[in-house]
Amino acid sequence: MMKILVTDGISQLGVEKLQKLEDVEVVVRNDLSTEQLLAEVADCDALLVRSQTKVQETVFAAAKRLKVVGRAGVGVDNIDVAAATRHGVVVLNAPDGNTISAAEHTFAMMIALARHIPQANATVQGGGWDRKRFVGVELQDKTLAVLGMGRIGSEVAKRARVFGMRVLGYDPFLTADRAKSLGVEQKSLEDAIAEADFITVHTPLTKETHHLLSAAAFATMKPGVRIINCARGGIIDETALAAALDAGTVAGAALDVFEHEPVESTHPLVGRSNVILTPHLGASTVEAQVNVAIDVAEEVGRVLLGLPFRNAVNLPSLSAEQTQELSPYFSLAEQLGRFAAQLATGAPDDVEIVYSGGLAHQDASFLTRTVIKGLLWYRYQDEVNYVNAPLMADSLGIRVREVREAKGKVFTNLISLKLAHGSGTVRVAGTLYNGFGPRIVEVDGYAVDAPIEGSMLFTRHTDQPGMIGRMGTILGDAGINIAGMQVGRRESGGEAIMILSVDKPIPKELLAELTAVGGIRVARGIDL
């Protein structure tokens, strides 16, 4: 039975999705201490969190069975993704479910900032009636700079256009077409912040975006600018913002997220009449919490069931279309890797993977991971998976190269693998035949055609009469049934290879018996 731990008050509708999976125990535990979390994850297969639970190296080290961590939300800064990758754990997020809520919260902050709504409310609630103090500004005809034009930034920009604002967008990945369709002017960071009346940030927090708005940036802004952060604490230097408010460069600021949460009463932005602070409420709507819980529960379920999934932050993402096109090749890629590793006489140090024909036009990075996973499987078994395979290859000093050949010579799609190891090279190639599954079609330059599955015997021998009969007798005497046979040779009487599909693994003693037969140079058992 698999165990799924759900923390941080994730919506019950997500929990119910998980409970519908077969053979699964779903444990809901909120407000766990670090020690309780370490004890609880020890036998878990999956962990679902929001932003409160810190999923660090110690958690991955304690959770030997953990396969996936699902984050009900976008930001994964509470999860050590590098540690997850080292431990071969998939990290998933739910990037779409709270976009509208976060965009609406940003807009609410902008209007509240323009019209002093929280401050005016506090005055009236306190028995006051001061109409002069709360004169605001209109949004119409003002300039808004949106830094980070992804999901939320784009939704904010759309709403701002409806309010009659001029919108400037700064994002290295914003295309001219996308900017045009959103009615946004593309700007450099410097120009966007220099021209804006309102600035809102919507990037992730990265090394590049840490203190994107710093003292130096505040110094170049229009006096009277208003600043909003509903993305991540740390994108704005909060001390520099306080200084800019003191200097009057910034007229007001609205923040939902902070460098250190929860915010302490001594924080330099607390207690100011021109600052609005909310406690990380961007995604706190009924709709967003249900959306992200359902999205992440579905994805976690797919990982546990071995089905294709989207939204992994430590794996290349594949669209549904790509998944459909490439998924038949996953098993071919894995089997080719396993086959080649078992033919090699030493550990590989260089791997070249050639994608020919239609595959040359695909993003094959996931197939490459799969080949590497297959290569390392013989030595590392379940320790290697899609997530950690490239990292493991790298740490073992294996160089991996992808080559694309648009013109397949014979096959519509072909994956060829060249493995260099200490004492030589191994070359194998495979394809998919409609209805016949993965086939191996080349071994070291010999053309063959065999299913690539189950147990096999591979030999290099001299092409002479009686060889196949002798091998058949040895296997027959050992009670090993032969299911299929393929021989390949370049010339009569020269060196030949043979691939036998057999019904059970070949014992080591039998391999020694085979190589004792004159003319058989190599006999290798292969299990896929």
Chain contacts with ligand MLT (rule: CB under 6 A)? 50-51, 73-75, 98, 282-283
Q: What is the DSSP string of 407-469?
A: S-SS-SEEEEEEEEETTEEEEEEEEEETTTEEEEEEETTEEEEEE--SEEEEEEEE--TTHHH
Q: Match 């993305």 to its residue by tokens.
A: 231
Q: Which does 486 bind (CB under 5 to 8 A by kind): ligand MLT, ligand NAD, none?
A: none
Asked if 267 is an active-site residue, the reply is no
Q: Which pair of structure tokens corresponds to residue 326? A: 């490439």
| Contacting residue, 63, 112, 149, 340, with ligand NAD by CB under 6 A | 149
Instruction: Give residue 236's region: left, alpha or beta (phi > 0; psi -120 to 50).
Output: beta
Rule CB under 6 A: is residue 151 a binding residue for ligand NAD?
A: yes
Convert 146-166 to b/e letters by CB count within 10 Å (16 or more is b): bbbbbbbbbbbbebbeebebb
* Rounded least distance, CB 425 to ligand NAD, Å: 42
- Residue whose C-alpha is closest to residue 158's, from 184, 139, 138, 186: 184
Q: Which does 50 bind (CB under 5 to 8 A by kind): ligand MLT, ligand NAD, none?
A: ligand MLT
Rule CB under 6 A: is residue 234 a binding residue for ligand NAD?
A: no
* Rounded least distance, CB 93 to ligand NAD, Å: 9
Q: Any alpha helices (H) in 357-396, and if so which ranges?
A: 365-380, 389-395
Rule CB under 6 A: is residue 293 a binding residue for ligand NAD?
A: no
* Rounded least distance, CB 103 to ligand NAD, Å: 8
Rule CB under 6 A: is residue 256 a binding residue for ligand NAD?
A: yes
Q: Which stretch binds ligand NAD (CB under 6 A): 128-136, 167-175, 298-306, 458-466?
A: 167-175
Asked if 232 is an active-site residue, the reply is yes
In angstroms, the CA 149 to CA 184 distance is: 10
Neighbours of 248 (CB within 10 A): 10
| Contacting residue, 68, 120, 167, 230, with ligand NAD by CB under 6 A | 230
In angstroms, the CA 24 to CA 29 distance is: 16
Q: Which does 51 bind (CB under 5 to 8 A by kind): ligand MLT, ligand NAD, none?
A: ligand MLT
Catalytic residue among 190, 261, 287, 383: 261
In this structure, are strands 437-443 and 424-433 parallel, antiparallel, or unpaired?
antiparallel
* Rounded least distance, CB 77 to ligand MLT, Å: 8
Q: Which does 152 bind (CB under 5 to 8 A by kind): ligand NAD, ligand MLT, none?
A: ligand NAD
Tallying the residues shown for the chain, one arrives at 528
Asked if 131 is an active-site residue, the reply is no
Instruction: Tell me the C-alpha to C-alpha distance, in Å, between residue 418 and each of 334, 349, 429, 443.
Output: 14, 11, 9, 10
* Rounded least distance, CB 90 to ligand NAD, Å: 19
Q: Which does 369 bind (CB under 5 to 8 A by kind): ligand MLT, ligand NAD, none?
A: none
Q: What is the DSSP string of 132-148?
A: STT----STT-EEEEE-
- Please list the active-site residues: 232, 261, 280
Q: Which residues bind ligand NAD (CB under 6 A)?
A: 74-75, 95, 98-99, 102, 147-153, 170-173, 202-204, 206, 208-209, 230-232, 256-257, 280, 282-283
